[in-house]
Structure 1
């Protein structure tokens, strides 16, 4: 042992003033007897570990000292790997390597040898072949945000993969040369695609700016048309002269109007007809049958007319040809909204049930099966056709708009207001080709559904249901230790869910979890554990707010604030009612109780939200977005093959911000994808639009991943599915490994979504399905672990 100056640290080298030796604890005595050199900073931790091993001999002290020093070895290995540029050597491998070291003072070569062995073992687990392992680790680095490896680093990684798979001599050289050629080609193709995409975007932006600079104000119109100002004003008011752009001014409620001079000049031959139509005996304003000339190509008004988003209901020709009747069924959670509609659907000759989630589409299919009706299934990533069946359960985005049926059911209509998916509900409610359309939702959706019915000229009935049993707010906050069997604890992030789970498991509770990153299969398995009593408490995000019929006695909010993607805010009344309403399942509990965790907010706030009237949406216009037909029509009108250019023009021109009937959905992610893949050769405009609709997470580098897949697709090469490689035993899984498995699962969802639309480019569907099932089972096994392990540390 050494002192603070580096000299040997002696526990008994000095005497007390009375000449007696100091007394030591048994652990200190054991350390002294062992005689190993120990740094003063190591002593506290070493004493604690030796105390747990008493009585301790020299070997026990040695083992304890190795444990103390491992943290330093891990830090040292991480530093060595970083300095060498080995980005693929994770902290997990450094921890594994440090765990295999048995020397008290290992040198750098010994530490690196242990790290090499741990990394090689992981590389072998990433794929059955060295090529597959290299692909997996390179993709993983990109996905983690580390970015693509430089050519030198990629070659270094290839050498490590070759060594891990015991390739030597010419075999190793052949492997490294082959993967180098593939990587060089890939880099070149990605670089060329990115360059082409930037050039297309620059061209489209310049084209749009040039058009905007060409616009003129009202005072130029009389000269362009050979008319008076009064005539021009009348014709603008009658809709004969299109306004190209409306710019709000500082004066509230006023706008500056601008016009496309080419578009206006093309209307000059119509002026005589307009004047004749306004002559005595003819109606004032718009002529009865004006023969308006075709507008100049690329004019915004022409683009708007082609897209016709301001007449969106007319896009659904099949639905408009039917004599539809909408029945709006509103009510809080646990009011039985779907029961009557499902009964009517089951009795019909043909029909469809549209749900917000794949999990709920499965539940609708099962509900129809219990009523004796076999239904096919259609979701973004799977198709289960039933030969001869005339019923369908599907997610909302998969609504078949051209196949007339007798009855349609559209659930969770309050999603009309959702920023990301609201337009899908607009399309489904407007376009469901059924004579009877049942729309189910929370009371907050009523205003928007009524608006849609009027725009479609559909008859509409309303049914308002009440909750079947009371829902009450608890008068006091709930301590974590007071959670009881049948409680659901709600948090608003995956991290918080797992942290709360860890704390409850530490307290001896059996816990099930549900959060958004879990697949529908795992959610259902966790819900089953709670339902059957295998778990006492459910810890969940607001993912339990839709579907998952659970015997929850009490919903306890861990906090009354959430981050909604833009800011941290208080929960609104619909969220408190929707999530809290899961408490008190009718037939199992006399009432539902909604509470807040101690420190998470005020019970009075919960009570106020539960008693509040339904909130009226700030904007009562339904959201709309383009479809493939609109994309193609606008592209043809503006003479461009750029998806970014088409979307930019749609965003700028197709639907005025002040349109009285509709509002344009957020196209931000679609435009980000368009910017990334517009330069990929081999993909048509509509292929690129399909990619833009693919469900990806931008926070998980989803757009760049789509770009890489698109390059492979465009080049005619098959795109392999994402793979998770070797997974640790569930009882040894760390939280990092669980999160990685969840991310791979989400990437598989996107891959399978594309595989249904591009079968030749994404052919390994059986392999992807098998990997999805494997990850589902592993994640569920990890979540079943009810002891305190690495997952919850």
Structure 2
């Protein structure tokens, strides 16, 4: 006979004494719990202790039971955290459902009351949190149940109008959204029908001579000279293209044939090919649409810049080479000028740098304006470049963003369109070929200045162990979750930590950077969001991984990414040298050496990216006879741009197209207004497009669009990761709302309220991050753990590393939502656009 453990004997005795029943599956955990309560040498516990132990074992099943009960009753806003808080106070091992629900009711009542100042605000906050977190839209019945719960939480009398008002409003809203969806489907079908009818009317090349009354040889020559517009090029399986033509356009060109024949004859007599005629001197179908990207028409779109005698100075150098200082000195000495930055945070830094030099400077970003009376200088995000006010000097920073698939078109427009007599373009060496191409297209002379790094950058002799971390170290991870995992682990080891990642607002990032710079935090943990902006006194940059998820795939870091991030080490004037390393077991130092020594990556396509602006959208709409933004973008995307255009390529417009599609059923907005909505910085991973449609519907109905609130903000020292992420998402909503309020102030009226809410969120988030405690209040899956390096396929020479690293056409911050000066991209639509963290167009 085997001897029983003291805990088993204690459990059996307690069961006999109390008369309680225990299921077999509960016994192992119950025995472990009782064992911890036993006095050494004893094998008995009192009844009260046993009851507490049994309650501890059963709390998780109780919370699961509560979640099941609430879902059945339609109370979908109740969270597992609510259920866990409710069961935490139950001391009866055998409570019925009624007791569990009563405990939950008290918890939920308190949470609803603390969510906002008014019942209406509480309702909207809870709906928004559900929408952001799960994409769930409450049904009218669920809204009715929620409104009754909120009324009870706010102690409204039974005859209060709140519930009935919500019921009426929700019914009207539901009907409106149904009508929007039906109208959108109908309009999209009509636009697709219109496009297909046009495509069906196209004829093959064989019909061209008959319609034009010319020979086949003449038709081929005129196509080669770009006189005859090819309406559509359809790729064939054998690699060739089938050319299709609009018969109406061909017939309209018959009158030009004698002139073309005379020019061809004269050119042949001179023994050279005929010049391509000026596309602007004749009317051809689709010519207006082709202005989006065809030949040199895009450069000509910027009339003010083309009227100036511009010269471009390209300042190239790695991080810490003084590029900005060189250009700022010239800008500060000019009578007028502008500095264009990729991020709102950097626009602020440009403004501060100019102000420190005694130059009054205004600010313009997508969500804010600071007008300084009498100032003739402007700091702005790239998307906010003013195109019609000539200045003496302008700066366009981070020109390597020309290759970015989401925002590259903004850099094309800024460099081509900045109305400055002297334009400084700053960037990494990778951007040189594309900037040269743009200068050539604009006809602007270009000179280049190449700078070297001011302090040496060296690769460490060996990887870093966690116990070897020192003040002024910066750990680089590649997701928000990894950053917070490292933070929890280092706090538990007694380090003082600051963090920087893309989902944080510029204000919070700057505050965290300041804590690190002034010594209140020893170690910085960041994503590659630090690769652009932020002056940081980092001595040693340490990679926690050498692979990242870029929104599409997990891949090796590119040489440009390694250089941009590693270059943050060794701030000139603060440290004699910068050191780059990697955490032990996270990758190979030889990979870092290879990437740092590698020449600039060859860009797969040197054609600058372009996208339509409001004027082009209006012109295309007039050309095709439609006020549908969906139809306009479908025509631009599907029928016009030549894949082999020698000069330009169409930028990624997937998110704009997705927004246009969703807005199609919202009547009451002009085409220009819908285009503004399509440019709004939202992240569809957080259901941003659906929210945009709700706001647009209110705008179109002449109802004020209510700004998002902050929701319930618990004490910072008790906030968990879920609450932190919720606050970050609320901040994103406010960024988008404020962006729209700058364009539609009559509909988005409560700007002061939105700015105050933004400030409260920023302060709260910074308070949470400032907490130097390792206490973890998150759910079990969020508990701090040692972050594990990515071992599968890591670039360490031992797991299938591809020499030189995999290259990608984009430097997306996978999942990080890096703050932008304009459209997100974020991010990308759906997957992003990848990313769209907001910001300031």
TM-score, length of structure 1 as denominator length: 0.93
- Within 1, Cα distance between the matches of 2:121 and 2:452? 57
- 1:587 is paired with a residue whose SS is coil
1:161 corresponds to which residue?
150
Asked if 1:681 is matched to 2:667, the reply is yes
Kindly provide the CA deviation profile for residues 452-488 of structure 1, in whole angstroms up to 9, marking residues without a partner as x.
1111111111011111122122232222232221111
Q: Does 1:132 align with 2:114?
A: no
Q: Which residue, out of 337, 340, 345, partners 1:351?
A: 337
CA distance in 2: counterparts of 1:723 and 1:544, whole angstroms: 29
Aligned partner (choices 468, 471, 476) of residue 462 of structure 2: 476
CA gap of 1:106–1:451, structure 2 versus 1, over 3 A, is same
Paired position in structure 1 for 2:765: 779
1:106 alignment partner, SS class: coil
| Residue 93 of structure 2: aligned partner | 104
Structure 2: state its 5+ residue gaps: 784-841
* Partner Cα distance (1:533, 1:292) in 2: 65
Maintained 8 Å contact 1:270/1:291: no
Pair 291,81 (structure 1): closer, same or farther in 2 beyond 3 Å: closer
1:178 aligns with 2:160: no
What secondary structure, in the 3-state scheme, does the structure 2 residue paired with 1:74 have? helix
Return the alpha-carbon distance in structure 2 between the equivalents of residues 151 and 531 of structure 1.
Answer: 51
Distance in 2 (alpha carbons) for counterparts of 1:54 and 1:626:
81
Residue 424 of structure 1 corresponds to 410
> Which of 718, 739, 747 is the equivalent residue of 1:732?
718
Aligned length: 769
Cα–Cα, structure 1 residues 412 and 723, in superposed 2: closer, same or farther, change >3 Å? same
Q: How far, CA to CA, are the matches of 1:758 and 1:113 in structure 2?
A: 47
Structure 1, residues 317-363: CA drift from partner, whole Å, max 9, x if none? 11111111111111111111111111111111111111111111111
Tell whether 2:178 aligns with 1:191. yes
Alpha-carbon distance in 1 for matches of 2:62, 2:227: 78
Report 1:589-604 matches (<5 A): 589-604=575-590
8 A Cα contact 1:93 1:118, kept in partner: yes
Aligned position for 1:3: none
Separation (CA, whole Å) in 1 of partners of 2:567 and 2:6: 62
Give the CA deviation at 1:145: 2.6
Inter-partner Cα distance in structure 2 for 1:685 and 1:555? 49
For 2:787, the equivalent position in structure 1 comes to none
Deviates more, 1:662-671 or 1:235-244: 235-244
| Structure 2 CA distance for aligned equivalents of residues 305 and 682 of structure 1 | 28
| Distance in 2 separating the partners of 1:478 and 1:506 | 18
| Structure 1 residue matching 2:743: 3-state secondary structure | coil
Q: Distance in 1 between matches of 2:400 and 2:283?
A: 41
Q: Which has the higher contact order (CA 8 A, sep 6+)?
A: 2
**Does structure 1 conserve the Cα–Cα contact (< 8 Å) formed by 2:288 and 2:616?**
no
**Structure 1 residue 291: deviation in Å?**
11
- Conserved 8 A contact 1:358-1:395: yes
Q: TM-score scaled by structure 2? A: 0.87
8 A Cα contact 1:274 1:290, kept in partner: no
1:638 aligns with 2:624: yes
1:27 and 1:50 in contact (8 A); partners too = no
1:41 aligned partner: 28
CA 1:368–1:341 in 2, change beyond 3 Å: closer, same or farther?
same
Give, in angstroms, the shift of residue 768 of structure 1.
Answer: 0.6
Q: CA deviation at 1:711?
A: 0.4
Distance 1:145 1:45 in 2: 37
Confirm or deny that 1:117 pairs with 2:102: no
Name the residue aligned to 2:6: 24
- Specify every segment of 5 or more residues in structure 1 that has no aligned partner in the other structure, as ranges: 1-15
Deviates more, 1:343-352 or 1:67-76: 67-76
Counterpart pick for 2:741 among 752, 755, 759 = 755
The residue number in structure 1 matching 2:606 is: 620
Counterpart CA distance in 2 for 1:54 and 1:156 is 55
Q: Is the 8 A contact 1:243 1:301 kept in 2?
A: no
| SS of alignment partner, residue 222 of structure 2 | helix
1:227 aligns with 2:209: no
Residues 709 and 213 of structure 1, relative CA distance in 2, 3 Å threshold: same
Secondary structure of 1:169's match?
A: coil
Q: Structure 2 CA distance, aligned partners of 1:407 and 1:577?
A: 29
Residue 310 of structure 1, CA deviation: 4.8
CA deviations on 1:395-430 (whole Å, 9 max, x unpaired) are: 111111111111101111111111111111111111
Q: State the Cα deviation string for residues 717-772 of structure 1 (Å, max 9, x = none).
A: 01111112221111111111110000000110000000000001111111111111
Does the 8 A contact of 2:293 with 2:649 survive in 1? no
Change (3 A) 1:22 1:648: closer
C-alpha distance in 2, partners of 1:339/1:289? Answer: 42
Are 1:550 and 2:546 an aligned pair?
no
**Corresponding residue SS for 1:373:** coil
Looking at structure 2, the residues matched to 291 and 574 of structure 1 have their Cα atoms a distance apart, in angstroms, of 40
Q: Which residue number corresponds to residue 80 of structure 2?
A: 91
Report the CA distance shift for 1:673/1:310 in structure 2 as closer, same or farther (over 3 A).
farther
Whole-Å Cα distance in 1 between the matches of residues 223 and 315 of structure 2? 42
2:478 matches 1:496: no
User: In the aligned structure 2, how far is the partner of 1:466 from the partner of 1:51?
Assistant: 69
Aligned to 2:684: 698
Structure 2 counterpart of 1:5:
none
Contact 2:15 2:21 in 1 (8 A): no
1:6 is aligned to none
Q: CA 1:708/1:107 → structure 2, altered by over 3 Å: closer, same or farther? A: same
